[in-house]
Amino acid sequence: MTELPKFNAYINGEWVAPSDGRYFETVNPYTAEVWAQVARCTPEDANRAVEAAHTALTRGEWSKLNATQRGALVHRLGDLIKEHAQELAEYEVRDNGKLINEMLAQCNYLPQWFYYYGGLADKIEGAVIPIDKPDVFNFTRHEPIGVVAAITPWNSPLLLLSFKLAPALAAGCTLVIKPSEFTSTSTLKLMELVEKAGFPPGVVNVVTGFGAEAGAALVEHPKVAKVAFTGGTESGAYVYQQAAKTLKRCTLELGGKSPNIVFDDAVLDDAIKGVISGIFAATGQTCIAGSRLLVQEGIYDEFVTRLVDFARSARMGNPLDPNTQVGPVTTPQQYDKILKYIAVAKDEGAEVLLGGGPASGPECGNSKWFVQPTIFGGVHNKMRIAQEEVFGPVLSIIRFKTDEEAVEIANDIAFGLAAGVWTQSIKRALTISNAIRAGTIWVNTYRSISYMSPFGGYKMSGLGRENGIEGMKEYLQTKSVWISTATDVPNPFVMR
């Protein structure tokens, strides 16, 4: 029997076994086979990683580098990611079952985060303040917030890690990363590139394992200054509660139930492609999924008919095959959850227009985790299928009459991560995008992201922003420095 690859944790520049010697298995969602073992880190391991990060921050070689030198290292990491994009993408597919086309596109794009923030590292400037006090010189400076715990999900591990890693390093922070237990290997492969780039020991660390063990220990650790978390809303709320006990800063990118709104003046062919991209790309396993489709009454019948016909042609299969369009669900837990919500929708009276159950056949390989691309009609916004995040290839279609009704339905939700608007009217595009309470609004496109543009949620979709200059600021804190130039000491009993 071939021995499985074994992945250790990465702490203080070394590959280390978990303190109690335990490992857990990681499964390929398409072959349904265990293909590797990953370190099951303990709170002791997490503590060791935080201490290494804190030492690197406060008195290690990293603390002595200036911003330009840090930026050069970050840029070098981008170069190495570019060289190894194919390998990193294949590790992601093996772990999470998403399409090689999607994962390779992401990995080819990742270097831009490191180039952007590497260049930004020495462009963050303080200010001299024309203070209203006599004989005082006052200025501000921006300093790294400290040790960052970066907790990442299983759907796009390296992309969502880069949202955190690149700006945190450019800001001068150090990190302990806790990837999802379902998708740890690509993050660990990235650490080989961190080593090769020349980052000093302790600057970037990875502890693998489970949230209740390694993850909780990071969130609760007194030397962690900030938690950057991407994941489900319930887990994010718990992280926020625990972090508040030691007043940690938090960036939380959480769930969504995004409306994708098609108006009667839209270019229907473009809108159909945008709707398909919004829900069936990535097997619907994305926080920004356009899982609520709002279609204006005048085009409803034609649009839905054409949409269903298009969706019916989606090719399921091996995610490593470039011709595959829909891959397996990543985890058995998520597979069960998706089927549960499909049953809930049927019980609520939603009409199955396409799919509506498990998928099987030779194209599904050995996987038991394929779900048919599913479309429900006859949905109203109070149904659970319209209010709760499914995180799978399940689309709910809601009919609306007026612009005002579309906005009302779009905002009548606990989430506020993203929204799509399909219209040829610039007036409508601006009016609707202003009215929808969500962090990202796409007009005549969907699922577009950039390292240059801030990303994050309103309401229960999260706190803070990632990407762009705003993303950098999340890892900095401002210090105000006062220097007296007075020749005489003023009255010590009166505030100056």
E-strand stretches of 88-203? 128-129, 136-144, 147-151, 174-178
Report DSSP state, residue 159: H
Residues 6+ apart with CB under 8 A from 392: 283, 284, 285, 329, 334, 337, 338, 341, 371
| E strand residue ranges, 386-471 | 394-400, 415-416, 418-422, 440-443, 458-459, 462-463
**287 tagged catalytic:** yes
Residue linked to tokens 């972090």: 243
Asked if 39 and 188 touch (Cβ cutoff 8 Å), the reply is: no
CA distance 143 to 372: 50
Name the active-site residue from 41, 107, 287, 364.
287
DSSP output for 29-76? TTTTEEEEEEE---HHHHHHHHHHHHHHHHTSHHHH--HHHHHHHHHH
Question: What gap in Å lies between CA 256 and CA 399, rounded to an integer?
Answer: 20
Q: Is 253 a catalytic residue?
A: yes
CB atoms under 10 Å from CB of 270, counted, come to 14
Query: Which among 92, 181, 253, 389 is annotated as catalytic?
Result: 253
Reported as type and span, the H/E element at residue 468 is helix 468-473
The catalytic site residues sit at 253, 287
